[in-house]
């Protein structure tokens, strides 16, 4: 999983980063709410661990903005306050879970895994864009009712795009997210994979879904 941890207390952020990294997660840390919103809006994460009280922008405001953008990234709120009203307010605004400080890293990991199961289990399992659909549970991809066979890398790329349709992903972001290593400007691994995915997804269809943004990266959206 690729997790964004938005926490202004550096010791807590380091504690969470270490614990999540030890179980194989890729962790990006932000200490400001405005920066966290920018990252979550423009990159692909599997979950967001979001502190409510942060400089720049508070966590609930970040959460509201993400949901207004129709960004469905799972969000676990962190707060030093454990009042019922705080929990209800956060959940009503679109949070998937709520964890009061202090907390154990084992509990946070368990809650992240529970969120992941809800995302890919028997709950909402479909990602859609026009006539393209992805079943996260079965990893079945269809466009116009026709099944499309993808490699594991192509499937990961497609899910990254469909979780944030319309957003432009840089080659660096895609390389770190899908291949789990830092981008080498001398390699064309991302471009080659995109070409193959585009051929499978858009080939034979009048409406292209996967687009190149010259000089920036790639995006997926429906443009007639």
Domain holding 133, by residue range, is 126-223
Residues 24 and 77 reside in one and the same domain: yes
Task: Report the CATH number at residue 178.
Answer: 1.10.10.10
Q: How far apart are CA 139 and CA 156, in angstroms?
A: 10
Residue 109 CB neighbours (<10 A): 16
Residues 215 and 111 reside in one and the same domain: no
Residues 171 and 216 reside in one and the same domain: yes
Residues 133 and 52 reside in one and the same domain: no
**What pLDDT shows up at residue 41?**
84
What does the block give as tokens for 195?
Answer: 């070409």
Q: Give the predicted TM-score (pTM) of the model.
A: 0.57
Final residue of a structural domain among 120, 143, 163: 120
3-state helix, strand, coil in the chain (%, to 5): 40, 25, 35
Final residue of a structural domain among 70, 91, 120: 120
Residues 201 and 154 reside in one and the same domain: yes
Final residue of a structural domain among 81, 99, 120: 120
Q: How many domains does the chain have?
A: 2
Residues 21 and 112 reside in one and the same domain: yes
Each residue of 138-175: pLDDT tens digit? 788 999 889 999 998 898 899 888 877 888 888 888 88
Q: How far apart are CA 71 and CA 63, in angstroms?
A: 9
Residues 53 and 92 reside in one and the same domain: yes
In terms of Cα–Cα distance, which of 201, 207, 205 is closest to 150?
A: 201
**What pLDDT shows up at residue 118?**
67
Residues 146 and 190 reside in one and the same domain: yes
Residues 47 and 103 reside in one and the same domain: yes
**What pLDDT shows up at residue 122?**
45
Residues 67 and 114 reside in one and the same domain: yes
**What pLDDT shows up at residue 180?**
64
**What pLDDT shows up at residue 127?**
80
Residues 131 and 196 reside in one and the same domain: yes
Task: Report the CATH number at residue 9.
Answer: 3.40.50.2300
Whether the CB-CB separation of 176 and 182 falls below 8 Å is answered with yes
Cα dihedral across residues 157, 163, 168, 169: positive or negative: negative
Which residue positions in the chain have pLDDT lower than 50? 122-124
Instruction: Give the helix ranges, DSSP H, for 69-209.
Output: 84-92, 105-120, 152-162, 171-174, 189-202
Residues 87 and 109 reside in one and the same domain: yes
């Amino acid at each position: 999983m690729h997790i964004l941890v938005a926490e202004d207390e550096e010791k807590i952020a380091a504690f969470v980063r270490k614990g999540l990294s030890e179980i194989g997660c890729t962790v990006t840390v932000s200490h400001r709410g405005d920066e966290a919103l920018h990252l979550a809006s423009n990159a692909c994460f599997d979950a967001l661990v979001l502190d409510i009280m942060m400089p720049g922008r508070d966590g609930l405001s970040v959460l509201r903005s993400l949901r207004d953008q129709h960004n469905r990234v799972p969000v676990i709120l962190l707060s030093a306050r454990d009042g019922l009203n705080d929990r209800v307010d956060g959940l009503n605004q679109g949070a998937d879970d709520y964890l009061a400080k202090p907390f154990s890293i084992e509990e946070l990991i368990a809650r992240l895994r529970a969120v992941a199961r809800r995302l890919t289990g028997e709950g909402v399992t479909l990602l859609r864009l026009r006539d393209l659909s992805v079943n996260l549970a079965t990893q079945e991809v269809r466009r116009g009712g026709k099944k499309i066979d993808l490699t594991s890398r192509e499937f990961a790329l497609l899910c990254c795009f469909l979780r944030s349709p319309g957003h432009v992903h840089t080659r660096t972001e895609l390389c770190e997210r899908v291949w789990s290593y830092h981008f080498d400007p001398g390699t064309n691994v991302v471009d080659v994979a995109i070409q193959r995915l585009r051929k499978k997804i858009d080939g034979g269809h009048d409406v292209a879904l996967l687009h190149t943004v010259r000089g920036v990266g790639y995006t997926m959206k429906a443009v007639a």
